[in-house]
């Protein structure tokens, strides 16, 4: 019986690899694109007040129902999205930092992406979290979006067609906040003995030049960089910092310091960590980030659990909240009646509360 189980598992993975090896026609993969112009795409959000908040979600790892019979991954993302848009004070936008699907290449990868995009609403080549098209969603890819053909063809086909020529680098503006999105690369495979630690290939020299250019060009009060892999992480018992980007890690950290970046929002680790470049860890949240050096923030995943994190802009201050989890079992996906009952327990961002916290700490 045990031998039969192993054979079935082997057959399953053979099936995945077989279908993942068949690429889908369409856009050329990133490495083959002519980038001579190196044009940049900028999006300016609609006029809003100085006080608003947005939601960070990461590592959704969506699977098609052929590979996820109970559609658990889709239910989890649906639950988080329905929950956060049910708040009386709704988020201004949502950001999702990579590993959108469990694997992104080939026909099977395209099936995973089709399942992912059913969780959102599309209008004028922009995705939204709500049917009223009032809460835009912005994405950046992760290493799982590259698997197994090591390209982003399906990511560009289904998720983001706008930034192919820019190597998935783009800028979004909301009043006194500027967001800088960058692709931190695929799984770094040049160190076979460290494959289990899943380092990120990191930022190219062109990525670094682009970041320095845009960071120096914007005088926004608040600057946030969004990517998948962290640049700063815990160290293990051997003093090794695992799961971080390899190429240009130190340069990236220096840029964040030089241009006074408030936050670097990432995923990948499936954990909640707030740490600075000196490896000081911050556990006491909510935190007024404006009073601290650049903070590197890992938000927990939406794969094993339903996690999200709220970030609030209050004038000259930017507040980072705890990573929050909702229970899928307690969510009736066919009704929104329970939202009002549980809102007080679960809602992290409450402007009046944060104003009180800010005042009490001054």
16 falls within a domain: no
The residue-averaged pLDDT of 265-289 equals: 97
CA distance 84 to 91: 7
Other beta carbons within 10 angstroms of residue 348's beta carbon come to 22
2 falls within a domain: no
Looking up residue 199, the CATH number of its domain turns out to be 3.60.21.10
CA distance 164 to 320: 31
The pLDDT, as a whole number, for residue 189 is 67
Check whether 337 has a pLDDT greater than 80.
no
* Interhelix angle 249-258/205-217, nearest 10 degrees: 0
184 falls within a domain: yes
The pLDDT, as a whole number, for residue 188 is 78
Q: Which domain holds residue 49?
A: 41-361
Instruction: Count Cβ atoms within 10 A of the Cβ of residue 311 and give its class: 0-12 exposed, 13-18 middle, 19 or more buried.
Output: buried
E strand or H helix at 181: strand 177-181
Check whether 332 has a pLDDT greater than 70.
no
9 falls within a domain: no
67 falls within a domain: yes
36 falls within a domain: no
Which residue carries 């590259």 as its tokens? 146
What does residue 353 show for φ and ψ, rounded to 5 degrees?
-65, -45
Check whether 212 has a pLDDT greater than 50.
yes
276 falls within a domain: yes
* pLDDT tens per residue, range 229-245: 999 998 988 888 989 99
308 falls within a domain: yes
CA distance 240 to 232: 11
Q: What is the domain count for the chain?
A: 1
Instruction: Count Cβ atoms within 10 A of the Cβ of residue 86 and give its class: 0-12 exposed, 13-18 middle, 19 or more buried.
Output: middle
The pLDDT, as a whole number, for residue 327 is 81
**CA-CA-CA-CA torsion sign (229, 231, 233, 236):** positive
The residue-averaged pLDDT of 272-277 equals: 97
Check whether 47 has a pLDDT greater than 50.
no
């Amino acid at each position: 019986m045990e031998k039969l189980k192993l054979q079935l598992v082997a057959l399953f993975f053979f099936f995945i690899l077989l279908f993942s090896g068949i690429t889908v026609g369409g856009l050329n993969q990133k490495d083959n694109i002519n980038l001579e112009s190196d044009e940049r795409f900028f999006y300016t959000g609609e006029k809003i007040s100085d006080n608003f908040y947005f939601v960070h979600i990461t590592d959704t790892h969506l699977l098609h129902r052929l590979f996820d019979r109970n559609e658990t991954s889709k239910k989890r993302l649906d639950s988080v999205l329905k929950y956060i848009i049910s708040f009386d004070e709704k988020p201004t936008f949502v950001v999702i930092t990579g590993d959108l699907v469990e694997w992104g290449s080939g026909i099977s990868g395209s099936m995973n992406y089709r399942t992912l995009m059913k969780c959102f609403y599309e209008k004028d080549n922009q995705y939204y979290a709500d049917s009223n098209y009032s809460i835009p969603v912005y994405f950046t890819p992760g290493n799982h979006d590259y698997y197994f053909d090591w390209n982003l063809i399906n990511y560009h086909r289904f998720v983001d067609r706008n930034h192919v020529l820019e190597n998935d680098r783009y800028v979004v503006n909301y009043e006194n906040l500027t967001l800088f999105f960058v692709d931190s690369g695929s799984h770094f495979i040049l160190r076979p003995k460290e494959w289990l630690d899943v380092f990120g290939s990191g930022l190219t020299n062109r990525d670094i030049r682009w970041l320095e250019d845009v960071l120096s060009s914007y005088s926004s009060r608040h600057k946030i960089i969004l990517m998948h892999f962290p640049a700063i992480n815990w160290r293990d018992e051997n003093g090794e910092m695992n799961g971080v980007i390899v190429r240009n890690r130190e340069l990236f950290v220096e840029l964040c310091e030089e241009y006074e970046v408030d936050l670097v929002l990432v995923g990948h680790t499936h954990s909640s960590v707030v740490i600075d470049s000196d490896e000081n860890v911050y556990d006491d949240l909510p935190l007024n980030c404006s009073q601290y050096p650049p903070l590197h923030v890992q938000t927990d995943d939406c794969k094993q659990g339903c996690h999200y994190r709220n970030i609030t802009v209050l004038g000259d201050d930017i507040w980072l909240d705890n990573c929050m989890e909702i229970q899928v079992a307690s969510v009736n996906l066919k009704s929104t009646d329970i939202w009002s009952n549980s809102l007080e327990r679960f809602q992290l961002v409450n402007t009046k509360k944060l104003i009180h916290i800010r005042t009490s700490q001054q």
